[in-house]
């Protein structure tokens, strides 16, 4: 590459807030490394490119068949690429050379290993997975991921368990809901009960630790709409969105595309006929979102309408709307067996994607399941060429990582302080 070419491209990267990565190929299979000439040219050129691109990262990737090595320069230092993740219906990782043999799996996972091998189990053990919303659907996902052997879960919810949650939240007890206080006739005792009830994320942590005592668990009492909370997920391997507010959809969709993290959104709805007041449809949704055009972007599917976003922002009741979308014609009953329908498909998608059980290039459509008809409908993928999340236009956040801002509100300091454990923990 001529100096002129490098100058032109790095200037473009600076202008567009992009990273500069030079990619080339060496021969061979399963193993690759830079030549001494490659390294010498990086050391000559990259300090200057870091300046030109205002902090980069800049760097180089070299491929062989089934392997990749990388030399990445950032303003805080120089790093060797550990692995690269390829996102799609089969999520897989490439390394500079074959990873050391995995150690024999815990015999507890014998039946898992018969499906996806010790390697599959090892993959789960090394994943960091975010769950946004630990209500009915999220609590199921939490239990299943823990039993699946996922090594690290970040659970985010600001809410506490209340009496009406008990039929749905896995592991929640009357003690968590402070039922004995809530049922007192004296208002201040009821209020005290609500204040002392366990946070949903702490119930979830308890359930996860029971399933897998060695799990690394971050129980975060907070709102994904706050930047400091959303940033806890930028290095996650997968995201589950089980909180149904438009603002949480907005941040989730941004995280997926800006940081290239595959995810899935779940929900359950019961729609009521306005005239007859009769229940018309009972349906659940499972919406995989992969960070590329036609990957299921929630914006392109018109699932984050601007009007609804504004409504939420104005109402100053975000804390409530994160749980329930208020809509004139949609009442919000909630039953554990319906939550299972959307959550089950989401966690199976996750499991199949990471263990290679889906064929490559398999289209993971958004799915509706109509409970009364026992039918499943797949939604055709959609992509707008000018989408600000999933397209490649210069204003799009796609793949920009830390070089773009998440659509969050600024955090107040109070929300950054780790929240004290709740009363009975």
Of positions 49, 387, 406, 408, contacts Zn ion by CB under 5 A? 387
Going through 66-206 in order, the beta strands assigned E by DSSP cover 67-74, 77-80, 84-86, 92-94, 128-132, 152-156
Q: Quick one: 161 or 303, whose CB is closer to Zn ion?
A: 303
- As beta bridge partners, residue 284 has 268, 369
Q: Distance between CA atoms of 315 and 307, rounded to whole angstroms? A: 12
Q: Quick one: 166 or 383, whose CB is closer to Zn ion?
A: 383
Q: Quick one: 44 or 111, whose CB is closer to Zn ion?
A: 44
Q: Distance between CA atoms of 342 and 370, rounded to whole angstroms? A: 11
- Cα torsion angle, 134, 137, 141, 147, sign: positive
Of positions 58, 170, 229, 390, contacts Zn ion by CB under 5 A? 390
Of positions 205, 299, 397, 398, contacts Zn ion by CB under 5 A? 299
Q: Quick one: 228 or 293, whose CB is closer to Zn ion?
A: 293
Q: Quick one: 35 or 378, whose CB is closer to Zn ion?
A: 35
x/- binding map, residues 1-40, to Zn ion, per CB under 5 A? ----------------------------------x--x--
Q: Is 300 in the site for Zn ion (CB under 5 A)?
A: yes
Shortest distance (Å) from residue 241 CB to Zn ion: 15
Shortest distance (Å) from residue 386 CB to Zn ion: 9
Long-range contacts of 377-381 (CB under 8 A, 24+ apart): 379/301, 381/294, 381/295, 381/296
Q: Which of residues 29-88 bind Zn ion (CB under 5 A)?
A: 35, 38
Of positions 18, 239, 297, 303, contacts Zn ion by CB under 5 A? 297
Q: Quick one: 63 or 95, whose CB is closer to Zn ion?
A: 63
SS3 344: helix
Counted residue by residue, the chain has a size of: 425
Shortest distance (Å) from residue 64 CB to Zn ion: 10
Q: For residue 401, give the nearest of 295, 293, 306, 291 by alpha carbon.
A: 291
Shortest distance (Å) from residue 109 CB to Zn ion: 37
Residues 6+ away with beta carbon under 8 Å from 251: 224, 225, 230, 406, 407, 408
Q: Quick one: 168 or 257, whose CB is closer to Zn ion?
A: 257
- Cα torsion angle, 245, 246, 247, 251, sign: positive
For Zn ion, the binding residues (CB under 5 A) are: 35, 38, 297, 299-300, 387, 389-390
């Amino acid at each position: 590459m001529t100096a002129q070419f490098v100058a032109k491209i790095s200037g473009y990267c600076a202008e567009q807030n992009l990273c500069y990565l030079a990619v080339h190929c060496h021969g061979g299979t399963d193993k690759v490394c830079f030549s001494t000439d490659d390294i010498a040219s990086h050391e000559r050129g990259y300090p200057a490119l870091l300046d030109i691109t205002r902090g980069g990262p800049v760097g180089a990737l070299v491929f062989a068949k089934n392997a990749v090595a990388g030399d990445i320069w950032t303003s805080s230092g120089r790093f060797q690429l550990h692995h690269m993740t390829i996102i799609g219906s089969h999520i897989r990782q490439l390394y500079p050379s074959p990873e050391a043999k995995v150690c024999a799996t815990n015999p507890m996972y014998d039946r898992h290993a018969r499906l996806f091998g010790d390697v599959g189990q090892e993959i789960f053990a090394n994943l960091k997975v975010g769950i946004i919303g630990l209500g009915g659907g999220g609590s199921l996902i939490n239990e299943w991921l823990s039993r699946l052997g996922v090594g690290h879960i970040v659970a985010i919810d600001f809410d506490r368990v209340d009496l009406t949650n008990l039929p749905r939240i896995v592991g929640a007890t009357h003690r968590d809901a402070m039922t004995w206080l809530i049922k007192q006739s004296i208002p201040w005792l009821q209020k005290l009960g609500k204040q002392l009830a366990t946070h949903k994320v702490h119930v979830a942590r308890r359930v996860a630790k029971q399933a897998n005592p060695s799990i690394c668990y971050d129980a975060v009492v907070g709102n994904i709409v706050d930047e400091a909370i959303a940033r806890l997920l930028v290095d996650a391997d997968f995201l589950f969105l089980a909180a149904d507010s438009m603002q949480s959809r907005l941040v989730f969709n941004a995280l997926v595309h800006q940081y290239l993290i595959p995810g899935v959104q779940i929900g359950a709805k019961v729609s009521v006929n306005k005239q007859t007041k009769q229940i018309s449809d009972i349906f659940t949704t499972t919406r995989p979102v992969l960070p590329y055009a036609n990957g299921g972007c929630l914006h392109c599917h018109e699932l984050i309408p601007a009007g609804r976003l504004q409504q939420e922002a104005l109402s100053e009741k975000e804390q409530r709307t994160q749980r329930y979308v208020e809509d004139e014609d949609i009442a919000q009953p909630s039953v554990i067996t319906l939550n299972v329908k959307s959550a089950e498909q989401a966690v199976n998608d996750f499991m199949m994607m990471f263990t290679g059980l889906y064929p490559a290039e398999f289209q993971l459509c958004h799915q509706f399941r109509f409970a009364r008809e026992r039918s499943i409908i797949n939604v055709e993928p959609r992509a707008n060429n000018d989408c600000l999340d999933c397209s490649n236009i210069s204003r799009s956040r796609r793949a920009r990582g830390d070089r773009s801002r998440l659509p969050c509100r600024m955090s107040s300091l109070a929300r950054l302080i780790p929240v004290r454990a709740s009363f009975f923990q």
